Each structure stands twice: as structure tokens, then as C-alpha cells.
Amino acid sequence: MVKKLEITVLCENMVGRIGSGEHGFAALVQTPMGNFLFDTGGGKFLADNAAAFGKDLRSVTKILLSHGHDDHTGGLALALRCRGGEIEVHAHPELFRERWLASEQGGETHHTFKGVPFRREYLESLGGRFVFNHEFLEVAEGIYLSGEVPRLTPFETPDPRQQIKEGESFATDPFRDDQSLVIVTDQGLVILFGCAHAGIINIIRHAVARTGENRLAALIGGTHLGFLGKERMAASVAELKNYPLQCVACSHCTGLEGALLLRETFGNRFQYGAVGFRYALD
Ligand SMILES: [Fe+2]
Ligand SMILES: [Fe+2]
């Protein structure tokens, strides 16, 4: 159980008072058991924002990656250079799969690359030591990577625009690599999502099942709520209301509509988790 904790959002699409915004997500989780960098943003402002908030990236104990999209892994080389030396980088074994975003333009389908923008060998040359997990994994006492999340809800369906490439053909990305960070505190679970491609309710159900704790102290990060249709969004938020929940500080791929629905549903328990957002327990 984690009793002392400070989480600072270092990369996000929007900015609070200081810092710079970029499409992506990264948060620094500081605990007595170590400091964990959860995702690394898109590659532009991780180091600048860490400095702006007085955070020393040399203090990072482990780097944890939510999934293989470039807006979460684009700052990985920068993070490794700032950290210096060898460091464990935890991720799912499918991290480096070729990922693309499909879009319709003038009646044609275009694909934009969205995978990890570095070769594994390059990241290893900078000190990254990859540790891959499929399963729920304790990375420090009371701090877990979710591993693969069972898809249990009928409403959190895959996003057909998010694709993987195998040979010359594209298929909907199953996002087996999508994992969240689950921290067991005396207030309940603190869950950090990357993009929550597995679905926020699937992730929460999995975290609750694995920890035996159903109180949600805080939800932080990208939820992908606002981009997959109103019905899906409403169904996820309706189920979220069933949990004892203290704080929703979602951002990134939550989108304006998702953020508005969360604010309407949870009132002051919702805050936008922009760059500089801080959540602390002590
Ligand atoms: Fe994202
Ligand atoms: Fe993503």
C-alpha cells in the first residue's frame, strides 16, 4: 500500500499556468519506493516541463510505457538521455509493432505512422533495458502495471481507425499492449491511463479484480472517451458512476466532449489534468 505519493503531469495537450503543451502524455510518479516516469510525451517538452516544475529526470527509477503510440513514446530517447546510465523500461512485448492511423481524404484511405519513432537498438544504446510483461506486474510495492486488459464490456469496442500493419495489409489494432498504472493507496486506487485504448471500464474492472479494492481515489491521463461516439462515451461514464470516486483528472485523448461529460457528471470531483496538474497523498 502506498501512503505517500506525488504525481505531476509533465506532457499533455493543454497547459495550466506554466509549461508547454504537446499532443501526448507523460506523468512523473514520485513515491518513497522510487520515482516512475509513466510515458514520455511526444518528444518535445518532457525535459522543459520537468525543469519548469522542479523535477529531476535523473531521479527516475524506472520508465513505464502505456502502449506503443508515438505520442507516449516520442520522448523516450530524450528521457533516456536526461536520465543517463542504464534503466529498466517496462512495456508490453508488442510495443514495437507497426502502428498507423487511417483517415479518409478525398475518398481515399490515408495512413499516418503512429508507432514508436525509434528502433529498439537505438534506445538500448541510450541505456534503455526493456522488460516486457503480459501480466499484471508489481513494479514496486503497491504499484502495478495492468498487463493485458480483458475486454469485458460490450460497449468499449475497438477504434477501427487505429491500425497495425502486417506485411502490406492493415488491420484494426487489438491494443494488447495497452496498459495502465495501478497504485494501491489507503484512499483507494490511483489509476493512470495512457490512452485507455482498452476502455476505461475494462481497465477499472481489471484493476479492481486484481487488487480487491473498488474505491477509486483518482483517475488520471487519457481516456479516449470523446472520439468513439456519444453512446460509447455515455455507457462508460454511466458505469463509472457506480464506483466510489474521489477525483477524475483526465485529459489528453479525452477530448472536449468527454471532458464536458465528466465535469457534468462528477462536478468538482473533475479537474482537467493539464501540464502541471499535481495529485499528492502524504
Ligand atoms: Fe495518446
Ligand atoms: Fe494511443
CA 216 to centroid of ligand 2, rounded, Å: 23
For the beta carbon of residue 61, count every other beta carbon within 10 angstroms: 17
Residue 124, SS3 per DSSP: helix
Cβ atoms of 47 and 78 within 8 Å: the answer is yes
CA 115 to centroid of ligand 2, rounded, Å: 9
- The set of cell numbers assigned to 4 is 505517500
Measure CA of the first residue to CA of the last residue in the chain; give whole Å.
Answer: 13
How many Å apart are CA 37 and CA 79, to the nearest integer? 9
Q: What's residue 212's pLDDT?
A: 98
CA 196 to centroid of ligand 1, rounded, Å: 8
Q: For the chain, percent helix, then strand, then coil, each to nearest 5? A: 25, 30, 40
Instruction: Identify the residue whose cell numbers are 499556468.
Output: 17
Q: What's residue 51's pLDDT?
A: 98
How many Å apart are CA 40 and CA 76, to the nearest integer? 6
pTM: 0.97
How many Å apart are CA 9 and CA 63, to the nearest integer? 15
CA 25 to centroid of ligand 2, rounded, Å: 9
Can you give the residue range of the structural domain that contains 201? Answer: 5-281
CA 46 to centroid of ligand 1, rounded, Å: 15
Measured at the CA of 139, the angle between CA 133 and CA 140, to 5 degrees, comes to 165
Q: What's residue 228's pLDDT?
A: 87
CA 86 to centroid of ligand 1, rounded, Å: 26
CA 123 to centroid of ligand 1, rounded, Å: 20
Q: What's residue 227's pLDDT?
A: 84
CA 154 to centroid of ligand 2, rounded, Å: 21
Domain count, the chain: 1
Q: What's residue 180's pLDDT?
A: 98
CA 97 to centroid of ligand 1, rounded, Å: 16
CA 106 to centroid of ligand 2, rounded, Å: 25
Residue 67 CA: which ligand is closest? 2
Residues with CB under 5 A from ligand 1 (ion): 71, 195, 253
How many Å apart are CA 270 and CA 14, to the nearest integer? 16
What phi and psi values does residue 221 have, to the nearest 5 degrees? 115, -165
Residue 69 CA: which ligand is closest? 2
Cβ atoms of 280 and 249 within 8 Å: the answer is no
CA 66 to centroid of ligand 2, rounded, Å: 8
CA 27 to centroid of ligand 1, rounded, Å: 13
How many Å apart are CA 164 and CA 154, to the nearest integer? 22
Strands 181-185 and 169-172 turn out to be: unpaired
Name the strand (E) or helix (H) holding 80. Answer: helix 76-83
Residue 222 CA: which ligand is closest? 1
pLDDT by 10s per residue, the chain, length 282: 999 999 999 999 999 999 999 999 999 999 999 999 999 999 999 999 999 999 999 999 999 999 999 999 999 999 999 999 999 999 999 999 999 999 999 999 999 999 999 999 999 999 999 999 999 999 999 999 999 999 999 999 999 999 999 999 999 999 999 999 999 999 999 999 999 999 999 999 999 999 999 999 999 999 999 888 999 999 999 999 999 999 999 999 999 999 999 999 999 999 999 999 999 999
DSSP 8-state secondary structure symbol assigned to residue 2: B
Domain at 29, CATH number: 3.60.15.10
Residue 251 CA: which ligand is closest? 1
Residue 108, SS3 per DSSP: strand
CA 178 to centroid of ligand 2, rounded, Å: 8
Cβ atoms of 39 and 194 within 8 Å: the answer is yes
Q: Which among 37, 57, 45 is positioned nearest to 15, based on CA atoms?
A: 45
Cβ atoms of 2 and 185 within 8 Å: the answer is yes
How many Å apart are CA 5 and CA 192, to the nearest integer? 13
How many Å apart are CA 74 and CA 24, to the nearest integer? 9
